[in-house]
Amino acid sequence: MQIPYRKPGKFSQMKIDPLVTEKKYQELNAKLEKLKNMSQPQAAAEVARLAELGDFSENAEYQIAKGRLRGINNSILRLEHQLHQAIIIRPLKQTDTVKIGHTVTVERNGKQNTYQLLGSSETDPQKGIISHNSPLGGALMGRMVGEIIAVKLADKEVDYKIVKIK
């Protein structure tokens, strides 16, 4: 029997952004250790226990446990790859142009907003953390204080003035 070919989804082939802060790197490392030292051994023990019951074809609990173990192993591989590829964002002393890791204050229509530019895996617009790949983040990269940048959004173009870089 041939396995059916499925076209990959829109986001399945996207590469992980390697840029992370030291804090995020430590979080990912802790998550990896927890998976390796707690979750994986427990899941493997459960699979072994259920395998002793015999008849794998009709043992639904065994199939579920085996799937859970496969998911844990896949998560471990993904995290190890992400940590291996990681580029840690260091605090920058140079503040004449916007770079990844900087906190930038911009003004739009007389209202000021402050954003921190980080990697895609750490974005949280509610807390003012945006990706360098976002429309605003990409437009800010390499710019200086006092510059006015135009950011093209879905249906309009918005102008921002860079007030401060730190």
Q: What percent of the chain is predicted at pLDDT more than 70? A: 91
In a domain, 130, yes or no: yes
Q: In terms of residue numbers, what domain contains 149? A: 103-165
Identify whether residues 51 and 108 lie together within a single domain: no
Instruction: Return d(Cα 21, Cα 29) in angstroms, integer.
Output: 12
Identify whether residues 25 and 54 lie together within a single domain: yes
Q: What is the CATH number of the domain that holds 128?
A: 3.10.50.30
Question: Would you state the pLDDT for residue 92?
Answer: 79
Question: Would you state the pLDDT for residue 12?
Answer: 55
Q: What is the CATH number of the domain that holds 40?
A: 1.10.287.180
In a domain, 13, yes or no: no
∠ Cα 49 46 35 (to 5°): 155
Identify whether residues 31 and 62 lie together within a single domain: yes
Residue 122 CA from chain centroid, whole number: 6
**pTM for this entry:** 0.76
Q: Name the nearest CA neighbour of 29 among 89, 73, 100, 86.
A: 86
In a domain, 11, yes or no: no
In a domain, 25, yes or no: yes
In a domain, 14, yes or no: no
What pLDDT tens digit does each residue of the chain (166 aa) get? 454 555 665 555 567 778 888 999 999 999 999 999 999 999 999 999 888 877 767 778 888 999 999 999 999 999 999 999 999 988 778 878 889 989 999 998 889 999 999 988 888 889 999 998 888 888 899 898 888 898 888 888 888 998 989 8
In a domain, 95, yes or no: no
122 close to 27: Cβ distance less than 8 angstroms: no
